[in-house]
Amino acid sequence: MVRSPRSSSIMETDSPQPSALTRLLHNVWDTVKVLLVSLAIIIPIRAYVVQPFFVRGASMDPSFYDGEYLIIDELSYTLDLRDPRRGDVIVFRYPKDRSQHYIKRIIGLPGERVVIEDGVVTVVNTDYPTGLRLDENSYLDSNEFTDGSVNMRLGANEYFVLGDNRDRSSDSRAWGTVPREFIVGRAWIRVLPVARAGALDTPTYGGLAAPGETANPSPAIAN
């Protein structure tokens, strides 16, 4: 039997309609599903790929100022897509208190010897056994002076780090090297302030061998 349009309309009117509570519960469940999917995507990204950090303090002036908002690349080091390089600005867990995160620049690589004397930073490795003065003019103020007297050999998984604002930085000169496993990642993108936003580059050092080719790791020695 074919129903007339009128009888069909009556049938639709008589069909049960969801209550306000049912509609509310459906909307809540849809929202929860969106949140769960978002968390399933965001949490692994935050934990293993990239992570936001705010700069605190003046130890990296003028490269990074207090309050600047950075995105940290965690994936490259975690998956060994690239090794930490000389000049990389890294975020790491402070060796004396792992609950704190520090931001510094890598100066010395595993197996090298770092010497600081009379304000001059010298790197000694297999390519330059008598040492090569590190040219840091691309990121240090012209009047910046690297204080301290250091003669330190790095172990197989150790990095020597310094702040760009040498007078205001607590770094490897004071508390020693950073083990590889303490490194969270490298500063990748500056988000804020907008006027300084953009991708961050690792400086090159004329005369030095490419990062990762400077020296074969050697056992740590007393410093």
pLDDT in single tens digits along all 223 residues of the chain: 434 444 444 344 455 666 777 767 767 766 665 555 544 444 454 444 457 889 999 999 999 999 999 999 988 888 888 899 999 999 999 999 999 999 999 999 999 999 999 999 999 999 889 898 998 989 998 889 999 999 999 999 999 999 999 999 999 999 999 999 999 999 999 999 999 999 998 888 865 543 333 333 332 222 2
Closest CA to 150 of 104, 179, 103, 112: 112
Q: How many CA atoms lie within 13 A of 127 on its CB side?
A: 13
Give the active site residue among 63, 104, 169, 172: 104
Residue 25 falls within a domain, yes or no? no
Q: Could you tell me if 149 and 130 are in contact, meaning their C-beta atoms sit under 8 angstroms apart?
A: no
The dihedral over CA atoms of 9, 15, 17, 18, expressed in degrees to the nearest 10, equals: -140
Q: How many CB atoms lie within 10 A of CB 70?
A: 23
Q: For the domain that residue 128 is a member of, what is the CATH number?
A: 2.10.109.10
- Provide the pLDDT for residue 50: 55
Count of domains forming the chain: 1
Looking up tokens 């705010």 gives 54
**Residue 33 falls in the annotated catalytic set:** no
**Residue 38 falls in the annotated catalytic set:** no
This prediction's pTM: 0.72
Rounded distance, CA 221 to CA 158, Å? 12
Rounded distance, CA 163 to CA 107, Å? 10
Residue 154 falls within a domain, yes or no? yes
Residue 94: domain span: 51-199
Residue 15 falls within a domain, yes or no? no
- Provide the pLDDT for residue 75: 86
Give the active site residue among 4, 19, 38, 59: 59
